[in-house]
Amino acid sequence: MESKTYRKLVATQLSHSFRSAIAITELPIPTPAPHEIVIRNHYAGINAGFDTLQCQGKVPYTYLTPPFDLGVEAVGEVVKIRQDVHTLQIGDAVATTIRGGGYREYQAISENLALPICAATPEILTLMPTGVSALVALEKVGEMTSGEVVLVTAAAGGVGHIAVQLAKLSGNHVIGVCGSDAKVALLRNLGCDRIINYRTETLDTVLQQEYSNGIDLVFDCVGKHVFDTCVDHLAVRGRLIIVGFISEYTNDLECVTQPRIYQKLFWKSASVRGFLMPHFSEYAVEGRHHLLDLFYSGRLKVAVDSTVFHGIESIPDAVEHLLSGKNCGKVVVKF
Ligand SMILES: NC(=O)c1ccc[n+]([C@@H]2O[C@H](COP(=O)([O-])OP(=O)(O)OC[C@H]3O[C@@H](n4cnc5c(N)ncnc54)[C@H](OP(=O)(O)O)[C@@H]3O)[C@@H](O)[C@H]2O)c1
């Protein structure tokens, strides 16, 4: 018999750990309001960094007070529509990127927030908003051109493996930094020119020995000493994009005492630039279409992590899996 209820994950309190901040709640499957559709989510993307910081109350642009819904991107199937909905039909596959719309089995949303896709497969979750973030960060913040040296950290991760390919597609020499042999193999397959496994080589030494002119563009997801090393190796007019600092999300921020960063940047006309996708939302639609086009035409390979997470109750495990650094590609949960 068809279920009349569905489950979603809710942050019920702020907490240092994601697992202790959340609870599963059960609700009636929604009925669509005017111009709304109801989607049964098939897969959702895991954004463990954002999830963790949000549950710690450390995302300044949301500052949500519990209880609040979690998860962002999902792919699924339209299961209910109102008669006033004209752009979609029952059975259509759609992708959504709505804060609070990911970690739930069903969602009721306005028809214009659902993007039709060929099939509700997990691969789509590597593209939006993850891949779009990589694209916008590189092009709009990093002013990526061609013929430069681009370095990507956490290069085999969800955001990183798309950034690597976009930098290659633009005609750059791309260095990918990662932490396992499996990730090295993935990056080789994606066309990385130099792969640095930081467990077997020292980033600073490789950059010193092989890139004496410095790095033109850094896409840093990791932070801490990786960030410091990348700043030290910026080229003249080099740009470093702060995409994240995942090495500090589960710890207290490390306090450092050293001369102010202008001492390092000024003499090279280099810069460090913060990036948060919500500040660049005007590029989201164009970015989605561009990435879908690259993907469907076979010019962009996507990697979904092979560890399978099933159901709402598996989401804390998926979050911890990503934060452990074991994932290769985008972590997803299947409903
Ligand atoms: N600014 C934005 O709008 C935006 C949007 C999306 C994501 N992000 C950021 O992008 C980064 C990557 O996110 P993602 O969801 O795609 O994750 P991910 O890259 O799939 O997974 C995280 C990876 O970070 C690496 N890592 C290095 N040091 C780590 C440490 N100390 N602890 C945990 N992981 C470490 C690990 O790979 P290796 O060991 O191979 O390095 C790990 O696999 C995060 O910082 C996230 O916050 C930012």
My answer on whether 38 and 167 are in the same domain is: no
Q: Are strands 309-310 and 73-81 parallel, antiparallel or unpaired?
A: unpaired
Query: Does residue 169 belong to any structural domain of this protein?
Result: yes
My answer on whether 86 and 223 are in the same domain is: no
Find the CATH number of the domain harbouring 204: 3.40.50.720
My answer on whether 314 and 269 are in the same domain is: no
My answer on whether 202 and 274 are in the same domain is: yes
Condensed to tens digits (0 to 9), the pLDDT of residues 261-306 reads 999 999 999 999 999 999 999 999 999 999 999 999 999 999 999 9
My answer on whether 154 and 94 are in the same domain is: no
Amino acid at 36: E
Report the pLDDT averaged over residues 83-92: 96
β-strand partners of 110: 36
- What does the radius of gyration of the chain's CA atoms come to, in whole angstroms? 20
Residue 63, pLDDT > 80, answer no
Task: Identify the residue whose C-alpha is closest to ligand 1 atom 34.
Answer: 325
Query: Does residue 292 belong to any structural domain of this protein?
Result: no
Query: Does residue 299 belong to any structural domain of this protein?
Result: no
Q: What is the pLDDT of residue 211?
A: 98
Of 59, 221, 241, 305, the one to substitute when testing ligand 1's pocket (max ligand atoms within 8 A of C-beta) is 221
My answer on whether 63 and 41 are in the same domain is: yes
Task: Identify the residue whose C-alpha is closest to ligand 1 atom 2.
Answer: 276
My answer on whether 109 and 242 are in the same domain is: no
Taking the C-alpha atoms of residue 108 and residue 106, their distance in angstroms, rounded to an integer, is: 7
My answer on whether 61 and 158 are in the same domain is: no
Query: Does residue 146 belong to any structural domain of this protein?
Result: yes
Sequence-separated (6 or more) residues with CB below 8 Å from residue 259? none
Flag whether the pTM goes above 0.95. yes
**Which residues line ligand 1 at a C-beta cut-off of 6 Å?**
47, 49-50, 133, 154, 156-160, 178-179, 183, 221-222, 243-244, 246-247, 275-277, 322-323, 325, 327
Look at the chain and report how many structural domains it folds into. 2
Sequence-separated (6 or more) residues with CB below 8 Å from residue 204? 229, 232, 233
Contacts 24+ apart (CB under 8 A), 297-301: 299/169, 300/131, 300/162, 300/165, 300/166, 300/169, 301/165, 301/189, 301/190
Distance from residue 157's CA to the centre of ligand 1 (Å): 6
Residue span of the structural domain in which 37 resides: 5-120+305-334
- Tokens 């597609």 sit on residue: 169
Distance from residue 163's CA to the centre of ligand 1 (Å): 12
Q: What is the pLDDT of residue 156?
A: 98
My answer on whether 226 and 206 are in the same domain is: yes
